[in-house]
Structure 1
Amino acid sequence: MLKPFVPPIEYEDAKEQAIDILTQMTLDEKISMIAGHNMFFTKGLERFKVPSMYMSDASQGVNIRRELDDQLEKSVAFPCSIALASTWNTELAGTYAKSIGEECRAGEIAVLLGPGINIYRVSQNGRNFEYLGEDPYLTSRITENYVLGMQGTGTIATLKHFVANNTDYKRRTSNSVVDERTMHEIYLPGFEAGINAGAMAVMTSYNLVNGEYAGQNKDLITGILREKLGFKWLVMSDWWSVWDAQKVIASGLDLDMPGEPRQEYPDYTKKPEHFVRYSAKSLIQEGKVKEADIDKMVTNVLTTKIAMGLLERPIKDTSFLKNFDEHEAVALQTGRESIVLLENKNVLPIIPSDEIYIIVTGEYADKIPFGGGAAEVVGYDQITMINGLKEMYGDKVSHIENPTDEEIKSATHIIYSTGTFDSEGWDRPFDLPDTINQEILHITSLNKNTIVSVSSGGGVNMNAWNKDVGALLYNWYPGQLGFRAFAEIISGKTNPSAKLPITIEKKFEDSPGYGYLPSGSELYTGWDQDHRIIDPIQDVVYDEGVFVGYRWYESKHIEPLYAFGYGLSYTTYAYGNLVLDQKVIPAGSPLHLSVDVENTGKMDGQEIVQVYVRDMESSVPRPVKELKGFQKVYLKAGKKKTIDFTLVERDFSFWDVATKKWKLEPGVFEICIGSASNTILAKAQLEIK
């Protein structure tokens, strides 16, 4: 069990100090504390030594806002969050977050607006790259380590976006209709894990949830977040995402961000009366809210600042600037462990030699792919794909933008780089342009040693050509050094170890979220549609329930293109000797189990051992199996290790809507050990009485 983060000043002591300050504040001062200030800041109060807090976006590192003064000169561009999830490395997740947190401290950033932990429901979601995949268990384990790594630096982590924000198509007029069981089993566990790890901020989402905007939804914020999940710190809105100041004040939200209109968008998108700062005093005067309601909000804002020690020490600490080399090393290691090898017909690795000649072509051969929106991070000293490969192969590799047929035939290998530009504010198609598909098919017809590299924030349709290529790698958005890691994998210097944190379907119609777009509508790009609050509210009904991701494909017997948890290596592994410490246990008792894993190949490597649980008979529909444990283990060639796991009552339970609690039904369960959700290599049965 992880020990949760404990702030420098304990909650009760911080709250006592907050209330002492509160009793001395004027109403105007109180109102100033519950709304943003200068777009990305909270308001400070000099007479109480309460500092303003600067908030910066995350997901690929620190977003440097060049329009503001006193910004960091540079920040490391890390592989994006979904790439981090592909490592399945919880320790690395903590180190990754620690690195970003140190850069926050160096840049006087008090609050990082991350991690993003919304579940990957549809492959077209423009913000999937900011999140941690489709599975709530994997998301939870990465999240809790991220929170500990981030807040250990003195930077506040923000869990976002609460909740059920799983599309960016007209997100301000999108109503997520989610039943109670689905909410608790799929969409809340990541937030619960982050809260249990000690996260000190939560950001609500743009969308409505079951008919009310998330940022002014009392059932969500007070009922679920505060009462059920026990969150006691700062809750903020996303920028321009709440519309009724009275509801906001009553909901349990503490901070309306950014607290003021945005001039460059039409008035109808956000009016002054929507903002807490403009309306709070008149609402009190009219008796619609009480000053005590404002006091609760101010107390939470102050308590969070005080507990993190922000009244006692500077937010900025330039001593962390000396750690940037370490951060680059973490970014590189994340790249090494996040690139997923999906196909390999003995084409890889390409060992450097005088006999090889590699042509690199495609959109991302000479530029760094990245996700857009608030999470965009530029980085510095960028290594492009061609740069990384030239470091490895020298003049044995060339970048040719439009190689001729003869040039394609003359090369020993072709590396074709493609991908998508995913961004906050809109969704993008699952299908690649047909010109890309035809180009790949043409190249593979001329050279069987064609390696395709995909850089994207989520799954794309590769069904037209994935079996024709010699090798296929998924790079996600790799950051400033990810293509150096790519070159290491291509050459065999690094053995790929990543596994998919998502299922990639053969066609979008196969997915659980298919049909989420309103009838007759089309995808768009750009920000204009995102701000059209005058559009009608559109329901997005989560009628698949708990059957998200691999749960859906397995229950519907739909074969995906690539399964959740899948990824190849340059070596091979054998599983055996699955042992349960008991075959029958009483309800509530933990189960200890072990399995042997052996590296049966000729190269050292890392394997991700996955534990799934299947309920053989249940009173409610349950998935075929669910991930309930995993470990990433390093094994030298020819070596074997025994891997231990412990499963607890929650791992066998489902959310019972009648009792509004987790419920374990006694019966027979199957413990499944595998290297992917569709590759189970050992099974054992357990009876729970």
Structure 2
Amino acid sequence: MTLMRGVLLAALPLALAQVNPPGTPFPNSTYPNSTDPLTDSGAQSGETSPPSYPSPWGEGLGDWEAAYAQAHAFVSQLTLLEKVNLTTGVGWEGEKCVGNNGAIPRLGFKSLCMQDSPLGVRDTDFVSAFPAGVTIAATWDRQLFYQRGYDMGSEHRDKGVDVQLGPVVGPIGRSPEGGRNWEGFSPDPVLSGIAVAQTVKGIQAAGIMSCTKHYIGYEQEHFRQGGPTISDSISSNIDDVTMHELYLWPFADAVRAGTASVMCSYNQINNSYACQNSWTQNYLLKNELGFQGFVMTDWSGQHSGVSSALAGLDMTMPGDIGFDSGTSFWGPNLTIAVLNGTIPQWRLDDMCVRIVAAWYYVDREANQVENAPNFSSWTEDTFGYLHYYASEDYTQINYHVDVRGDHAANIRTQAAKGTVLLKNNGALPLTGKEKLTGVFGSDASENQYGPNGCSDRGCDNGTLAMGWGSGTANFPYLVTPLEAIKAEVLSNGKSIESVIDDYAYAQQNALARRISDVAGACIVFVNADAGEGYIIVDDNEGDRNNLTLWHNGDDLIRNVTSFCNNTIVVMHTVGPVLVDAWYENENVTAIIWAAIPGQESGNAITDILYGKVNPGGKNVFTWGASRGAYGTDLLYEPNNGAGAPQEDFAEGIFIDYRHFDRVGETPIYEFGFGLSYTTFAYSNLQVQTHSAPAYTPTTGQTGSAPVLGSVSNNTADYLLPDDITPLVAYIYPYLNSTSLAASSGDPQYGINYTFPAGAYDSSPQPFLAAGSKVAPGGNQALYDILFTVTATVTNTGGVAGDEVPQLYLSLGGPNDAKVVLRNFDRITIAAGASGTFTADITRRDLSNWDTDAQDW
């Protein structure tokens, strides 16, 4: 399979290998591979994570130093109530964004606007619908990753958003049917890591905060929030090696890139909820990776008050326990917890510092717009209620600001460059001179209800340019393949006909026969959709039920190919589908994966079909011959009675191509594969060795936890002021009684509660060996460049084109994959010319995780 990828495989000097010095075993480790992490991996059912306290306080590492100084000065001025306001959402539909925290009017600090999505500004008008994450990943182009991030960030900024809820690297795509895989990039951690880092940098260069999500192990929609007979969310059981070498890897890249925020996920990890898991939040994210920003819940992802605070949570969204319930784990309960000492003041101070530092880090002060936010998530009417659920303060709420700029041209380029040519028997590019062109399938045409006619894109009508769920945006328009191809054909004075009913077999056959008789071209459009679990489409509860094409796409292809000897198949899909029934059919002359392209869908695919853009996209996942070929599947049925479903990631790091290699499964189309209208040759492979200091585990201690300002113990100071009339279901920080017990409403107040003693330790704490006291991202020696690989790439064909050289390494350990991707680049090369591929290899690229030593 490696050779079939048509990419670069470099061999490195054996002397590179370094063995880390022995360390202290991880305390309370329950991992099955804890005795020998290099010969065993994969989680077991009932897996648990070791506790880790206290929650690390941010120290302004690296380029966060100035932002932390500003944040300390700001937070030192705040009262307890103002600090609670910063950390707690005001409730669903309480303000204009999908999430808002409380404001601090006394200091002119407005409520922060948190808004989806990872492909555009959700729930408003005059915004762009960008290609999905899986599409931009298929470009394998760092510059396009950054450009898309910057353009999206600019649109969020100009709508008055403070935090863009994206990008996504969880799910990473453990199983191909995962409903939200398309929001992320790829099941390969290096490709996802580079893509997320460049996206974060682009978003934040535009002057808003990014929120990298969903942290961590969130790999399916089924049971993400329990089920009809199950109260607890699914537990993703992940061993320590797999966590570090696969799932945590791209989050580390996002942290190193400076992501302002990380969103904790709905699921449990090793039977502890993600938003109160002290191991994943305190130990891995804030300690080992040195994350300096704030941890935010997914919407209703909080399941406790004190426990989640001590375990590292910094902000709860949207603030209420149930949407519009008026109740909150934090809000007044956080006020009570600080006053009675169950949450130390320094922990609340750290929450606030992290939030405010992130604000300063991206320079939000200099990137404000008028009337921010200048839209409402709840209606597109110009006038309405400022507080939608409470129906209070009727005013102008939408200003209909057009923030798209020149992004359409970038979107068209991104979608075209993310298109993958899988098969071509000389049928492409089309000349435009074909006497008769036929377009088949509903995926080529309009949704009969309009491109935004299904809420959050929750249907599969017409061409698929976006999956469904909260990871969506409204289309400002959607160019369909049919209208774009029609325009191209008519510009050449030729004929075009279409049959867009997927089940109009007689009409399909008649048109296909006529086209074949005149040596024309039949273009068949098919799709497969997926999305978030709160929407069910054709009995698919977010996750796909199978890997087949929707709308009986296989039958559509079979019918057309039965009569047309020049059938070009174009697939818009959220991930791999089964093509085994027809991909070798001699009448299928070309196959294109057009991914999830966004608003310029038709223009982008027409650019490819007619050779205006030479395809250079490469697969970001493997196309298997059967559903079982992938080795992993989703959990569709409960497996733990009424308890939390248990999903054991027993395959360890072996997902996608790593699994195919491990078991000798031959794919139909390999990860990293993609054809061009030209050809390339490789030569002159060179490996240069660099001198770098030996890896040194981090040592030393942090400073003490800072305490900023003081807290009054007079409970009367925390009652609702007489001049405030509370809004219905709005979350305030105020108490309703001077008695903390009475205000809590908890009949068990003050008894039967125990919390980890270490959670209250504010003294200096030791740095982890794999951590850093210099900059975020973990031990900085991991990023030392040890080798540089170069090769000459020559365009041996007749047209200019893009090639994507890919560097794979074989680490060689008994529990390692056959090869792993470690670097890549996209190079444009003129016909007959050559370019140089250059790829650095870092120490991290060559390291394994040692659970006993808790170090690389």
Tell me if TM exceeds 0.5.
yes
Cα distance in 1 for partners of 2:85, 2:689 equals 59
1:397 aligns to 2:496 (yes or no): yes
* C-alpha distance in 1 between matches for 2:682 and 2:89: 54
Pairwise mapping of residues 112-511 of structure 1 onto structure 2 (< 5 A)? 112-118=164-170, 119-172=172-225, 173-263=233-323, 272=327, 275-284=329-338, 286-311=340-365, 314-315=368-369, 324-353=404-433, 355-366=435-446, 367-369=462-464, 370-394=466-490, 396-401=495-500, 402=504, 403-411=507-515, 412-425=520-533, 426-429=542-545, 430-433=547-550, 435-468=552-585, 469-511=588-630
Contact 1:110 1:315 in 2 (8 A): no
Equivalent position of 1:632 in the other structure: 826
The structure, 1 or 2, with the larger RCO (C-alpha pairs under 8 Å, 6+ apart) is 2
Equivalent position of 1:595 in the other structure:
791
Would the aligned equivalents of 2:791 and 2:836 in 1 still touch at CA under 8 Å? yes
**Contact map agreement 2:434 2:521 (CA 8 A) in 1:** no
**What letter is aligned with 2:625?**
K
Letter in 2 for 1:76: S
Q: Which moved more, 1:535-544 or 1:202-211?
A: 535-544
Cα displacement (A) at 1:24: 3.7
> Which segment drifts farther, 378-387 or 155-164?
378-387
- Distance 1:170-1:351 versus aligned 2 partners, 3 A rule: same
Residues 55 and 112 of structure 1 are in contact (CA less than 8 Å); yes or no, is this contact kept in structure 2?
A: yes
CA–CA distance in 2 between the matches of 1:19 and 1:584? 40
Counterparts of 1:170 and 1:284, CA distance in 2: 34
Return the match for 2:816 from 622, 629, 639: 622
Of 623-632 and 165-174, more deviation after overlay is shown by 165-174
Which range moved further: 644-653 or 429-438? 429-438
Deviation at 1:313, TM superposition (A): 5.4
Residue 557 in 1 paired to residue 664 in 2?
yes
Contact 1:15 1:303 (8 Å CA) reproduced: yes
Which residue of structure 2 lines up, in the alignment, with residue 652 of structure 1? 846
C-alpha displacement of 1:331: 0.3
Task: Tell me, in whole angstroms, the C-alpha distance in 1 between the residues paired with 2:67 and 2:405.
Answer: 36
- Bigger share in strand: 1
Alpha-carbon distance in 2 for matches of 1:455, 1:160: 25
Q: Which has the larger radius of gyration?
A: 2
SS at match of 1:215: helix
Indicate whether 1:75 and 2:75 are aligned: no
How big is each residue's C-alpha offset from its partner over 1:454-500, in whole Å with a ceiling of 9 and x where there is no partner?
Answer: 11211112222222222111112111112201011111121111001
Displacement of 1:54 = 1.0
TM-score (normalizing by structure 2): 0.70
Per the alignment, residue 678 of structure 1 pairs with: none
Runs of 4+ deviating beyond 6 Å? 320-323, 583-589
Partner residue in 2 for 1:46: 105
**CA offsets 1:138-195 (integer angstroms, 9 cap, x no match):** 1111111111111111011111111111111221211110011111111111111111
**Aligned equivalents of 2:837, 2:254: Cα separation in 1:** 26
CA contact (8 A) 2:306 2:337 kept: yes
- Deviation, 1:282, is 3.6
> Residues of 2 paired with 1:560 and 1:568: CA distance?
16
- Report the Cα offset of residue 40 of structure 1: 1.4
Q: 1:503: how far off?
A: 1.2
Give the match's secondary structure for 2:479.
Answer: coil
The residue identity in structure 1 corresponding to 2:559 is H
Query: CA separation in 1, counterparts of 2:70 and 2:437?
Result: 68
What letter matches 2:243 in structure 1? M
Say which SS state the counterpart of residue 55 (structure 1) adopts. Answer: strand
Q: Aligned partners of 1:625, 1:388: CA distance in 2, in Å?
A: 41
Identity of paired residues, percent?
27
Tell me what 2:120 maps to.
Answer: 61
1:32 maps to which residue?
A: 85
Distance in 1 (CA, whole Å) between partners of 2:793 and 2:278 is 49
Is the Cα contact below 8 Å between 1:360 and 1:397 reproduced in 2?
A: no
Tell me the CA shift for residue 644 of structure 1: 2.2
> How far apart, in 1, do the equivalents of 2:402 and 2:338 lie?
50
Deviation at 1:421, TM superposition (A): 2.4
Alpha-carbon distance, 1:372 to partner: 1.0
Q: SS state of the match for residue 426, structure 2?
A: coil
The structure that is helix-richer by fraction is 1
Kept after mapping to 2: 8 A contact 1:335/1:478: yes
Cα deviation for residue 554 of structure 1 reads: 0.2
Cα RMSD, aligned residues only: 2.6
**Match in the other structure for 1:92:** 144
Q: What is the match of residue 574 of structure 1? A: 681
What is the DSSP-based 3-state SS (H/G/I as helix, E as strand, rest coil) of the residue aligned with 1:276? coil
Distance 1:536 1:552, change over 3 A: same
Matched with 1:604 is 800
Q: Is the 8 A contact 2:411 2:600 kept in 1?
A: yes
Aligned residues: 628
